[in-house]
């Protein structure tokens, strides 16, 4: 099966289905196979340019564009789906669907790999990369300008700063080098996970949260879906017993799962929390 598919796509390439695509000023058909590039594509491109987006953009709690992609063809990141959509350009994530990206590049389909930014400057670079690739650099500049305006909001000055930790399903947190860490620090919070030198997305036991003197516990808000073992830690009885000592701050995953303009909404929540009474 794999050999027959590869033979098909190689034949398609030989027929010149993508001949001259790279030279086009703005690609007519763009396929995204990554949740975060889905968001930027839908927000920056002309609707007619959007040939397909990943299924996550319609189903994931991390999607900001679910209501805008219901009528858009969806893919699961497989090369055969992408080939069938006859794209002029494919948007991918640097760490996702690598097998498909390898095949697509082999047959000459232009692919832009978006990175996973850890700083605001890197966020702006990724927005600009995608906007330029789809032929709408001006829209990317406008998105960046609005993001900069919102991220310039004054932050509270308090001593000592509130100590905060992100707690996600399975006890994962946001450590140094993550975009969440950057937003927390910009908002005037001390990220306990960074202080403890945990991995960028390591695990943070509840015992450590208690012993580290956390003032704010940042958890997922509006997470849909049935109960799961992975999310049980977020409803652990010990969190309720902490009472006024630790305040829970809820941020919907869609606001800072990716690196679009919604991170400004997450930043607003963090700034408000940083300026509130402990």
Domains and CATH numbers, the chain: 30-151 (3.40.50.1980), 163-275 (3.40.50.1980)
What's the start-to-end Cα distance of the chain, in Å? 60
Q: Is the pLDDT of residue 276 over 90?
A: no
Res 197: pLDDT? 78
Q: Are 178 and 118 in contact (CB under 8 A)?
A: yes
Amino acid 61: pLDDT: 77
**Does 239 score more than 90 pLDDT?**
no
> Is 255's pLDDT higher than 60?
yes
Question: Strands 30-32 and 111-114, how do they pair?
Answer: unpaired
Whether the pLDDT of residue 24 is over 60: the answer is no
Can you give the pLDDT at residue 228? 52
Give the pLDDT of residue 55.
96
Q: Which residue has the higher pLDDT, 184 or 246?
A: 184
Residue 23 has pLDDT above 60, yes or no: no
Higher confidence at residue 179 or residue 246?
Answer: 179
pTM metric for this prediction: 0.85
Give the tokens for residue 145.
């300008």
Q: Is the pLDDT of residue 59 over 60?
A: yes
Percent of the chain topping pLDDT 90: 62
């Amino acid at each position: 099966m794999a050999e027959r598919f590869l033979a098909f796509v190689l034949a398609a390439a030989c027929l010149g289905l993508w001949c001259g695509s790279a030279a086009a000023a703005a690609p007519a058909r763009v396929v995204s196979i990554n949740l975060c590039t889905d968001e930027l594509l839908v927000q920056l491109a002309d609707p007619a340019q959007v040939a397909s987006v990943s299924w996550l953009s319609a189903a994931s709690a991390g999607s900001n564009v679910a209501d805008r992609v219901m009528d858009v063809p969806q893919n699961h990141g497989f090369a055969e789906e992408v080939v069938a959509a006859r794209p002029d350009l494919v948007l991918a994530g640097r760490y996702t669907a690598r097998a498909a990206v390898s095949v697509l590049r082999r047959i000459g389909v232009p692919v832009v790999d978006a990175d996973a930014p850890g700083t605001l400057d890197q966020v702006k670079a990724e927005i600009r990369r995608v906007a330029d690739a789809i032929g709408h650099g001006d829209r990317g500049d406008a998105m960046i300008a609005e993001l900069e305006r919102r991220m310039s909001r004054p932050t509270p000055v308090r001593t000592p700063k509130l100590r905060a930790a992100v707690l996600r399903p399975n006890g994962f947190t946001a450590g140094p080098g993550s975009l969440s860490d950057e937003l927390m620090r910009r908002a005037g919070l001390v990220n306990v996970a960074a202080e403890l030198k945990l991995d960028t997305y390591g695990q943070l036991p509840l015992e450590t949260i208690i012993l580290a003197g956390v003032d704010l516990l940042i958890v997922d808000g509006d997470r849909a879906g049935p109960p799961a073992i992975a999310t049980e830690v977020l409803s652990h009885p010990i969190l309720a017993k902490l009472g006024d000592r630790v305040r829970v701050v809820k941020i919907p995953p869609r606001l800072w799962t990716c690196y679009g303009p919604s991170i400004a909404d997450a930043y607003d929540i963090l700034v408000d929390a940083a300026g509130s009474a402990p």
